[in-house]
Structure 1
Amino acid sequence: MSDSLTLRRPDDWHLHLRDGAMLRAVLPETARHFARAIIMPNLVPPVVTGAQASDYRDRILDALPAGMQFQPLMTLYLTEETDPDDLAAAHASGLVTSVKLYPAGATTNSASGVSDFDKVRPVLERMAEIGCPLCVHGEVVDADIDIFDREAVFIDRVLDPIRRATPGLRVVMEHITTKTAAAYVRAHEKDLGATITTHHLVINRNHILVGGIKPHYYCLPVAKREEHRLALRAAATSGDARFFLGTDSAPHTDAAKLQPCGCAGCFTATNTLSILAEVFEQDGALDRLEAFAALNGPAFYGLPPNEETITLTKGAPVSYPDHIATDEGPVTVFDPMMPLHWRVS
């Protein structure tokens, strides 16, 4: 097997950059390897209008170190008060690439999300009309639904009804975590795609809970049983154009992760490409890594793939920092619990 792999420069179709000091610290970790990224809008307050998206994009570009090339693809945070005309104008101008649906209370900074899906139906219909994709955090938040079942229930109760009621709406099921979600994507050839994170290809729920609680493996949606992790790996490495990379890299300071009610999220921007190469090699699918990381996402979003290339070379294990320093405190880099032999050269 070759010890060198050249592929088009990849994109990240689900990324948290935060703002302020955190943004300035973590942005280079993504821009070093990725050409573009879908930027999550769950700031406090959230990015809900075109004007706010424009301001946030300016702050991201201002934080980009000299010499780095990176394009933030902006999203709007869907609320029950979202103005369809403002959304349509922002999308038509090229400012906004997609809209993000958070069920209210589903994850970090999702309190402003949707509780009554009938109230956003006019927005969804407008999005279908103009071809603006909807990115969904696919979990219900009902207290009587087990946290490990929330994705499957969301598909049945929320996602499938939305898609049936809104023909032509393009939907990205973000950070899928179950074989149920992977099977749902495969069963629908039109207007549906899914992102898979780096960490969900590596961890199952045992890694969070066995031998003591591991806060840095706690994320939402939470990692599931091993059978689901294996299903995600099969989907990611299959070459199927409906599956593509969205890291959901989510920086939190160690102080926020380690408190009694710790934050959900894994920070993977720094070492994602090395991890992915290791995973794809383990599964005999290195020839399909380019599709997952650099081709399938642009195809779904109707964008051209990047012309630039990167090269991964295999050798002695790569060393990555344990933490990224920020003015707010250290952020732990995801530990894949295995040696990483592929480095970006």
Structure 2
Amino acid sequence: MSTARSLTIRRPDDWHLHLRDGAMLQAVLPSTSANFGRAIIMPNLVPPVVTGADAQAYKERIEAAIPEGHDFTPLMTLYLTENTDADDLAAAAQSGLISAVKLYPAGATTNSASGVRDFDKVSNVLERMAEIGLPLLVHGEVTDHDVDIFDREAVFIDRILDPLRRRFPELKVVMEHITTEEGVNYARDGGDNLAATITTHHLIINRNNILVGGIKPDYYCLPVAKREKHRLALRAAATSGSPKFFTGTDSAPHTQANKLCACGCAGIFTAINSMSCLAHVFEEDGALDKLEAFSSLNGPAFYGMAPNEQRITLVRDDAPVEFPRQIWTEDGPVTIFDPGFDLFWKVEQ
């Protein structure tokens, strides 16, 4: 374990983030904009962000919510549906309005009912995306009722993703929030057009954290956390320095009332303490020198962007950093991810 007391890196980016809208957006955005320079914004609102006009309007609402003094750029996406207009999508990309398109298999996660069921119906869109170099961000799970929830990612790779990539070999693809050893291996060996994001919480929790000693809804997310061997594979990938893997927190706020109910929502809010958690993980694995690559360099390189010029410094305190248990919104409290151990690294701008 490293004995370093401070680490200065380029300002990180978050390549998978849920900001929601309205009061929730106002409440959670400062947790991201305080530490991250840019973030890929998920489009699964109700209704979803499906056109360039939708993306422009949502971007303006986000920008209006950025606190004074915070330097933050939202990177917008469109939600791929079977009715997506390829010309509208291409115009939004070429203007710089959007940075990617998100594929949700219908029913895979929160607000995914408008997702794709028949991939033949989006082939023209995927062809156009390949032509203009616009990345496809994939929620990589099948939703077939005969597939165990813990196998959804591995089955998706075999049934959907690999055939899709063979059909569109020039298409840039990001496997979002991978959770399995199979996901790690496929991303690592998938060529230059493929990369993967890994969340903060999947580096820390496995399925025991959700289920042992009573159900813990605050650890429930989709894709659901898997066996310990998969968590260890994710950690090895994240801390390897490989350019194939980068930060995508999938920070996904829900009010406590929507988490602790008969059909609790999937999502973990990690924006506020992600960098502290990541520093802990990388220190524990003897890889603090690889944290900048994972959080600040690999993502921009894959997206064809320059890394942030600004720097942040992470400082290791002797006493644990104190984070609130919840943040408050007009709609109710949102619980912050509890890693289950003390955090000693904090961000100093």
The bucket for the TM-score relative to the shorter chain is: over 0.9
Q: Tell me, in whole angstroms, the C-alpha distance in 1 between the residues paired with 2:258 and 2:211.
A: 19
Q: Tell me, in whole angstroms, the C-alpha distance in 1 between the residues paired with 2:139 and 2:333.
A: 27
Q: Tell me, in whole angstroms, the C-alpha distance in 1 between the residues paired with 2:13 and 2:274.
A: 11
Instruction: Report the equivalent of 1:108.
Output: 110
Residues 268-297 of structure 1, C-alpha deviations (whole Å, 9 max, x = no match): 000000000000000000000000000000
User: 5 Å matches for 1:1-40?
Assistant: 1-40=3-42
Q: Tell me, in whole angstroms, the C-alpha distance in 2 between the residues paired with 1:130 and 1:4.
A: 41
**1:256 has 2:258 as partner:** yes
- The Cα shift of 1:189 comes to 2.2
**1:231 has 2:220 as partner:** no
- The Cα shift of 1:157 comes to 0.5
- The Cα shift of 1:65 comes to 1.3
- The Cα shift of 1:2 comes to 1.9
Q: Tell me, in whole angstroms, the C-alpha distance in 2 between the residues paired with 1:263 and 1:47.
A: 20
Instruction: Report the equivalent of 2:90.
Output: 88
SS at match of 2:208: helix
Instruction: Report the equivalent of 2:141.
Output: 139
Q: Which of 200, 206, 209 is matched with 1:207 structurally?
A: 209
Q: Which amino acid aligns with 1:59?
A: R
- Structure 1 vs Structure 2: percent identity of aligned residues? 72
- TM-score (structure 1 length as normaliser): 1.00
User: 5 Å matches for 1:1-345?
Assistant: 1-315=3-317, 316-345=319-348
Q: Which amino acid aligns with 2:150?
A: F
CA-based RMSD of the aligned residues comes to 0.4
Q: Which amino acid aligns with 2:92?
A: A
Q: Tell me, in whole angstroms, the C-alpha distance in 1 between the residues paired with 2:67 and 2:184.
A: 37
Q: Which amino acid aligns with 2:266?
A: A
SS at match of 2:7: strand
Residues 249-272 of structure 1, C-alpha deviations (whole Å, 9 max, x = no match): 000000000011000000000000
For structure 1, which runs of at least 5 residues remain unmatched after alignment? none
The count of residues paired between Structure 1 and Structure 2 equals: 345
SS at match of 1:181: helix
Residues 127-163 of structure 1, C-alpha deviations (whole Å, 9 max, x = no match): 0000000000000000000000000000000000110
Residues 301-330 of structure 1, C-alpha deviations (whole Å, 9 max, x = no match): 000000000000111210100001000000
Q: Tell me, in whole angstroms, the C-alpha distance in 1 between the residues paired with 2:215 and 2:327.
A: 22
For structure 2, which runs of at least 5 residues remain unmatched after alignment? none
SS at match of 2:332: coil
Residues 316-345 of structure 1, C-alpha deviations (whole Å, 9 max, x = no match): 210100001000000000000011010111
Q: Tell me, in whole angstroms, the C-alpha distance in 2 between the residues paired with 1:61 and 1:186.
A: 35
Residues 203-229 of structure 1, C-alpha deviations (whole Å, 9 max, x = no match): 000000000000000000000000000
Q: Tell me, in whole angstroms, the C-alpha distance in 1 between the residues paired with 2:4 and 2:138.
A: 38
- TM-score (structure 2 length as normaliser): 0.98
- The Cα shift of 1:51 comes to 0.4
Q: Tell me, in whole angstroms, the C-alpha distance in 2 between the residues paired with 1:252 and 1:15.
A: 13
- The Cα shift of 1:186 comes to 1.3
Q: Tell me, in whole angstroms, the C-alpha distance in 1 between the residues paired with 2:50 and 2:107.
A: 17
Q: Which amino acid aligns with 1:329?
A: G
Residues 14-48 of structure 1, C-alpha deviations (whole Å, 9 max, x = no match): 00000000000000000000000000000000000
